[in-house]
A and B are shown apart, each in its own frame.
Chain A
Amino acid sequence: MSDTLPKVPDTASAPPSAGDGPARPSPLARALAHPLLWPVLALVVLLAVNVAAQPGFLEVRLQDGHLFGSVIDILRNSAPIMLVATGMTLVIATRGIDLSVGAIAAIAGAIACTQIVGAADQGAASVAIIASTTAVAACVLLGLWNGFLVAVLGIQPIIATLVLMVAGRGLAMLVTDGQITTVNNDTFSDLASGFVLTLPIALIIALVVFGLTAVLTRRTALGMLIEAVGINPEASRLAGVRSRTIIWTVYVFAGFCAGVAGLIIAANTSSVNANSLGLWIELDAILAVVIGGTSLAGGRFSLAGTLVGAVFIATLARTIPTIGIPSEANYLFKAVVVVLVCLLQSPKARAAIGSLLTARHSKGATS
């Protein structure tokens, strides 16, 4: 235990001689203890790997009046995950989970595309707006259904949302007749491919939803109430929190987010394929939330962490073709990276690695 002695000054919050009121942790120590440190670090490392493989990776230039480059692609492609993960964060904070978001996204794309194709004037902006609004409204209804199952009937969230995860894709197939529906509407395709003020519209939509969520949960009591419900729904109900309404609301919100994400994914290729649209996005979203440091056990949640997690997953998807991982090894590569990030985030794993390193170090010094 001789190596514990020299460690003490490092881990102590501040030198006692500082004398400025109560001892405050030094800025470095606070940064090191910040929950966002590890996800951000992982993202930076991943970006560095890309830059090593392709030196111009971070370059962004103006092209046809908008920004263009790998980073812009990543941010644009991360918009659907960002949206879904924002909704998922709140659901997970209430100790729930929503597996149906991918299917809901597929339904949104299916409804919007079939409506646009069926319209008299397929290319009109109003058609795209009406179709998109209808699609999102339908998704809100599906969210209501999920919330009803969980909050009112008290069904386990994983089972309740599994219903729609399986049935939802069937619904989307029914809407599209099992066909890939291709639309020809500039307004609709702008949702994913368009730019405003040189920035991708998809990213702006995702950030607006994210920003509103952050303001609503952090500037009002809503966030605290959600956390209270997640920590102990019964106790918070007894304390006067409307647990049921709050749980119901977060599922509706998750449905809304998934719907908007579905529209963006469909708009990205101006087509909807009910089988593949948003497939496994629920898992990506859950992963983004977990990488961001929100516990699946409910309670405290970090929206900023989720944002970093979503960008991390989109960057990971981009890394594979950029550094040229063979197709056969795609999943293995992803799995290894995710495991590494999770290890980084686990204090226990970090401590084990740390003590392993110091043990080796002190051994080398004494011998």
Chain B
Amino acid sequence: MLNLSVLAPDTAVKTVFTEDTEEFVGTYSGQGAGLNKPYVFFGNRDDGYQISYNCSCIEKIYKESWLRSYVGIELFYEGFLIKELAKLRYSVKRDSFEENFQKHKQRYKSGSLYGAIYDVLFSSLMEYRLKFDFPELAKRLELLYSGIFYRDTQDLSQDNEAMLPYIVALENLLRFNSLSEEVKGSYLSFCLPLGLVAKRTNYINVIKATSIIEEWLLGAASTILAQRATKSANAGGENAQKYYSKEIRAISPQDLEDIDRNARLHSVKAKIESVAKEVGLQAGTGNYPVKTNNTTTFFLDTIRKYRKEISELEYLFRRAFTSMIILPAFDGDVNLRRQQQAYLVSLTKEDSKVYQYYVKKKVSVDLMILRDVSGSTFLFEKQYAEAIVLLLAAVGGFQGIRTLEIDFGGLVKINKGFEQNVEMSTVFPQSGGGSNILPALKLLRQQRLKGRLRLLFILSDGELTDKSQAEKEIAAFSTDNNVLVFRIALGEFANNGYEYVNIRTLHKYLTKKIIETGELL
């Protein structure tokens, strides 16, 4: 599960879910709640904050968004909370008496053009800093912004509505490197360096850049109004009007195509899709992408039913396989903040973390499971399949852990290959035939092993049909490929060196064995 408290560790935040929109509006009207507002966030540092979600609004937005095919609705809830906590984290903690800051406070008020531009630039700075500090949380925020038109310009006053396309164009430029054809070309070229400086540095430059961009827009106000009048007269800008409206709505696949068409960097859609898949694969959050083909109902039902157990297993794996190595040196770090800290430390002569660079220790495990689905497993076939699904789902999100699952019995079948995504696996309850392991071993020999740690779990009752030949093959396979073999028996009988494990605790036992073996190495 995500730990969002790292964003604002000294801040208490209460979460409230309101199912009915009218109740939401009625209860939180004082905090600016509206029918189309997905949430309200209010409070202060002393008494704590509260985030209240408008569940029906969020659900409506989720259903219309293109992200629906990749991630669960939880992403929106998490994303909104991450956004607000990040704002708390990166905003000014204490008021300064400096003249420019005081002027900024006065000008930043609801409905003002200055406020809207400041929000865009500050969001950009927030996302940028979050990518350095908390990359996993930044991904979720990136997805949220790519899935929903929830701009901070919602409160823009009517007088400044004509500027909305320019503010949206600025936002798209900084977020997607996307150029809008609806605005004056020189505007984006002028704003780009200012936006980059604002987002890479600090709030002082955000304030400076905001006032400069505001002055540009006010200087061009007559031009903008004239263009808008022309567009309204032509009445051909329906889609553009909708795109630039203040309405909170989901980004549809068509909207994403439009953004993609104007992007100058790369395919925005492809990049965000890959982030969505990566986030969706993390079983600990319970988010699994819903594909329209090649999935089994059993797999997805099991994921949903055992979300808690899967997240517990994932936590254990994360603890075991995530460790940081201190790097002695690091080249090419252009992080200006670290350079400045290093300079200060050189003056004060204090020990500091500045010189310590960490990199995540690489995990490299090949996990292979040969599962006996002969007729003797009939009595517990469902729990049997569920245990395998739990294990595969728990390790599915770890880069470096490759899994392979082969069922053998009457027939032999690879349910999940090394190169397959876990959601494409076809593990399901089945039983029948004898325990012929040799064909499974033959299939196993054909696989290419890459991991430093290679584990083979043979789940059977020990009564293999071809056991003497099978044991020779297993021993040869183990020696040739440096594989550790574990023999586990289920059911009432455990013979021939197989260790008895209760079917209910099979997934925990497998987890324990994997972690113990990993720790030994």
A and B from one complex: no
Binding site for B on A (CB under 8 A): none
Binding site for A on B (CB under 8 A): none
